[in-house]
Amino acid sequence: LTPGEVRDPTDGKLVHLDGVNLSRAWAMEGIASALPKDDPRVPALLATAKLHADSGLKAVSDKNYEGSHWLGSFATYLTTKRGISGS
């Protein structure tokens, strides 16, 4: 999966892709944590999760209200590994 790209962070609809990126990263980390450590899918899941996390976390700022008022909650779930087993 390729992370969604937000070309205009002031577009209130388009900025939802940043939330999708954060949500995907969190979900992929959760899936990877539920698999056996030696499962061959784990490295790919974690690598893809990192791409989505990096993209989404870059968007968390106070520059634009369109994302700033809600992206932080998605970023918090991701960075604290909320609900992910073994965390």
Alpha helices (runs of H) in the chain, residue ranges in sequence order: 16-34, 42-58, 65-68, 71-80
Q: What is the pLDDT of residues 35-87, one digit of tens each?
A: 999 999 999 999 999 999 999 999 998 888 888 888 999 999 999 999 997 75
pLDDT at 2: 94
Could you give the CA distance from residue 60 to residue 77 in angstroms, rounded to a whole number? 13
